[in-house]
Amino acid sequence: MENFDKNNGKKLNSKSLTFKKSQTSSLLSLLIQKNSDKLDENTASKLINSWNIDILAKNLNKFEKLSNNIAKRLIRDWYLDSLAKNLPSFHWLNKNIAKAVIKDRYGSFKNCLNSFSQLDNQIAYILIDNKDYNELAHHIRSFDHLDNEILIALLVNCTKYSQILLHNRGVFHEWWEPNKDLLFSLKRKWKIIEYKKLKEFYHKIKFETIKENFESNNNFEEWFYIQDAKEAIKYGKWKYVIEFLDHFRWDYKELVNLLIEWRYIEELKNNISKLWWHDIDRYELVSQFSITNNYNVLIKNADNFEEEWITNIEIADEIIRNSDLEYRDAIKKLEDYSDDEDWEWINYNLDFYKIVKKSEKEEFISLIGYFKSDFFPLSSDKKLPLKLRNLVREKFWLNIFTRYKDLFE
C-alpha cells in the first residue's frame, strides 16, 4: 500500500511537472511572437506561477496595464530595476510602489508619473523638492487631495501646463470657490507673486465655470443680442453665433463687424445666405472676402450682391486690389455674367499681372504707355493695385519705378 502511494505521488508530480513545462513552452512562444499585440496581466501571473518571473522581468516591455500585485512581486524578488525601466507597462500603481521606485530610480519615476494613481502630498513634495514642477503639473491627474501649498508652488514655478492644472483642479482640497482667507494671508505676508498667481487662478476657474454652463444659460435657437454674441466669442462658443446668425435681434452691421474683427470671415462665407436682406455693410463684406482670397464666394453670389447695389465690376475691382495675384483670372467669370461693358481697365490689370509675372519688361512698358493714354487713371487712387506694385518691384529694375513713379508712390 505504501509503495502504491509513493508511485501514485510520483506519477502526479510527473504529470504536474509535464503540465508546467507545457505551460512554460506555451508562454515562451507568446513572448517570441513579433506581432504588435501587448500581453496582459493573466499571462504575467502564469509566468510567475510557473517559476518564470525572471523571464517576465526580461520581457516587461511586451506587457501592458500590469497591476500593483505584479509590481509588488517583482520588487519582492529583487527585480526593481526591471520594474523601474518598464513603468509604462503598468497602470494605477499606488503610493507604496512609487516610494520603492523613488528610493533607487527617481528619474524613472518622474518620467512615468502617468503609470501611477491617487498619489498624495508626500510624493508631490518629493517632486517639488527636486524642482520638477512641470512634471508634477503635467501628470497632476495621478494625484489626489493635494494641499494649497502645492497648488501655489505649481502656479508660481511652472513654465507650462497651466491649462492642465486648471482642467484638473479637482485634485486639490479647495478649488470650487476662492479661498479669501488664503489670499488675504498671502497679501499680508507680502507674498505678492503667490497672491497674484492664486488670484489669477481663481479668475480662470470662474471663467471656465461660466464657459461650461454657457449652453444652459443661453438660448440662441430663439434669439440673441450683440452682448450675447460677444459673450459667446469670449467663452469660445462663437459657433452658436454662426449657426443661428439669422436669429439675431439688433444691428446686423455691428454683428458682422464683430465677426470680422475676430477673423470669422470663413464662417461668414459659409453662412452668407443668412445675411441677405439684413442691413449690413456689403462693401466691407466684399472687401474682406477679397482680402482673404475668398473670390469664389464673391463670384458665386455676384447676383445677390448686385441686388444689393454692388456691381460685378466693383467686386472685380476689390479682387484686383486685394486678392493674391494668382487668383485674379477668376474675375473673368464675373465679366462673363455681367451686362456692364466697362471692363477694359480691369482686363488691363490682368494683362499687367501676366507680363510682370513672366518678367517681360518691354511688353509692360508698351502696355502701360498705351494704357495711360487711353484708360488713365488705372484705379481710383491713380496707382497700380498694391500687390501688383509689389510684384513689379520684385521683377523689374529701378528705372521702371522712376519712369512711372506716379503709379507707384
Residue 12 has a pLDDT of 43
| 258-287 tens-digit pLDDT | 999 999 999 998 998 888 888 888 888 888
13 — pLDDT class (breaks 50, 70, 90) = low
Residue 214 has a pLDDT of 85
Whole-Å CA distances, 235 to 54, 198, 256: 55, 21, 18
293 exposed, middle or buried (CB, 10 Å; 0-12, 13-18, 19+)? Answer: middle
33 — pLDDT class (breaks 50, 70, 90) = low
> Could you tell me which residue, 33 or 8, shows the higher pLDDT?
33
Which whole number is the average pLDDT over 134-144?
96
- Look up cell 517632486; give the residue: 127
Residue 10 has a pLDDT of 47
253 pLDDT above the threshold of 70: yes
CA 27 to chain CA centroid, Å, is 43
Comparing C-alpha atoms, which of 177, 126, 111, 121 is closest to residue 149? 121
Residue 193 has a pLDDT of 94
Element containing residue 407 per DSSP (H, E): none
Which whole number is the average pLDDT over 239-254?
91
317 — pLDDT class (breaks 50, 70, 90) = confident
The mean-pLDDT minimum among 340-344, 385-389, 395-399 falls in: 340-344
| 93-124 tens-digit pLDDT | 999 999 999 998 999 999 999 999 999 999 99
Buried b (16+ CB within 10 A) or exposed e, 207-224: eeeeeeebeeebebeeeb
Residue 403 has a pLDDT of 75
388 pLDDT above the threshold of 80: no
| 284-312 tens-digit pLDDT | 888 899 888 888 888 888 888 877 778 88
| 142-200 tens-digit pLDDT | 999 999 999 999 999 999 998 999 889 889 876 667 888 888 999 899 999 999 999 99
Distance of alpha carbon 47 from alpha carbon 37, whole angstroms: 18
State the cell numbers at 132. 520638477
Give me the chain's average pLDDT, please.
83
402 — pLDDT class (breaks 50, 70, 90) = confident
| 364-381 tens-digit pLDDT | 877 777 666 665 545 555
Domain coordinates in residue numbering, the chain:
24-89, 118-212, 355-409
Which whole number is the average pLDDT over 315-326?
80
